[in-house]
Amino acid sequence: MYEYNEMQGVIDYIEEHLDEDLCIDMLAEMGMLSKFYFQRLFYKLVGVTVMEYVRLRRLAKASEDIKDGGKITDIAFRNGFNSLENFTRTFKAVYDMTPTEYKKKDIPLAHFYKPDLSLKYRSVDIGVPLVASGVVIEFNVKKIEEDIKIMGIVKECEMGVAGQDNPGVAWNEYVEVKKDILNQSDENVEFGVSFPSNKKDWFNYLAAVQVDDFDDNDSRLYQYVIPKGLYVVCTFSAENFFELTNAALDKAMAYLLQSWLPNSDYVMIGDFAAEYYDYRCLKDHPNPQQVQVPPIDIIKNPPEMDIMVLVKRK
């Protein structure tokens, strides 16, 4: 049986050579497969085609360079694009704006992150940490005795492998209105909840704070109830706040829903996933003025957070 390690080696090579010419023939040879089977297996394991993956990873790197400053033309060539026109067209097709527009705007982007294929094949018992590339994951089961009321900003988000980061937009707008939210239970406990949209291939994302009672007088705010019940809690940590809330969150969510739950003793019965943010995630927060200073023992540890899903035993 073909081991995922060989394909992971190819992915690692791509990541280190995004600024160079990459072709399927060479990558297939590196993976010790025919061109035909290499492309089929890559798509099955990664979720996009080989060259689409290369394109998305180049765009992710280039977008970071754009925010760091520099000429757009230099950034395009430095990240493997053969012309400014090609870079601009590709960037706009994925992120719905040109690189120049992105440079001028404060709009977060959602990227396709480098995968750790081992997460598709590794299982872990409850309470046992799983160490993967860029993330440490641990599962527990928790009974929540009372409904949790939350209020905040909701945004519709289109499902896709990359694009504009509407959950990030929801958080930015939430920060602006948080001070106006009444009856907050604990200003240092916040939730990010994904739940279905009425639009096909879209979902809703709510950035919110827990409240004791709902306030019906502010039309900007969306009300949501996380129901009491039995929850699988996926706790994960990363090197810093940015990695925690981007690549690590993406990996943890995918592992929870696609790998761990289907092979566990539990089945998901809710139509939502709730991200739970508290003191533990605040290390290296990019906007310290937005948060309270966490206890010193929390600062000493890597930042971590939870994902919670409502379940029942199979």
Q: In this predicted structure, what is the pLDDT of residue 221?
A: 94
Q: What is the mean pLDDT of residues 32-57?
A: 93
Query: What is the DSSP-derived secondary structure letter of residue 184?
Result: B
Confidence of residue 297 (pLDDT cuts 50, 70, 90): low
Residue type, 131: V
Quote the pLDDT of residue 219: 87
Comparing 107-116, 199-208, 223-232, which segment has the lowest mean pLDDT? 107-116
Q: What's the confidence (pLDDT) of residue 119?
A: 85
**pLDDT attached to residue 288:** 45
Domains contained in the chain, CATH given: 4-105 (1.10.10.60), 117-144+228-313 (no CATH), 148-226 (no CATH)
Higher pLDDT, 64 or 4: 64
Q: Report residue 20 as tokens.
A: 């160079």
pLDDT above 90 as % of the chain: 63
- Tell me what pLDDT residue 300 has: 58
Location of structure tokens 């992971």? 8
Quote the CA–CA distance of 150 and 131 in Å, as a whole number.
32
CB under 8 A, 24+ apart: contacts of 18-22? 18/54, 18/57, 18/58, 18/61, 18/79, 18/80, 19/78, 19/79, 19/80, 20/80, 21/80, 22/51, 22/54, 22/80
pLDDT tens digits, 270-289 = 999 999 998 888 755 554 44
State pLDDT tens for residues 241-256: 888 998 899 999 999 9
Sign of the C-alpha dihedral computed for residues 249, 307, 241 and 156 taken in this order:
positive
Geometric angle at alpha carbon 284, from 283 and 287, rounded to 5°: 110
Q: Looking at residues 49-67, what average pLDDT do you find? A: 93
pLDDT band for 223, please (50, 70, 90 cuts): very high
Residue 3's pLDDT is 67
Kindly indicate the confidence band of residue 290, based on its pLDDT and cuts at 50, 70 and 90: very low
Contact 34, 41 (CB under 8 A): no
Query: What is the predicted pLDDT for the residue at 283?
Result: 59
pLDDT digits (tens, 9 = 90+) for 113-157: 998 888 888 888 898 889 888 889 999 999 999 999 999 999 999
Number of residues that this document lists for the chain: 314
d(CA 104, CA 49): 31
Tokens in use for 194? 């994904």
- As a whole number, the mean pLDDT across the chain is 89
Regarding predicted confidence, which is higher, 294 or 150? 150
Across 184-193, average pLDDT: 91
Rounded Cα gap, residues 36 and 71, in angstroms: 39
Q: What is the pLDDT, as a whole number, of residue 6?
A: 87
Here the tokens at position 215 are 């306030």
Which pLDDT score is estimated for 302?
80
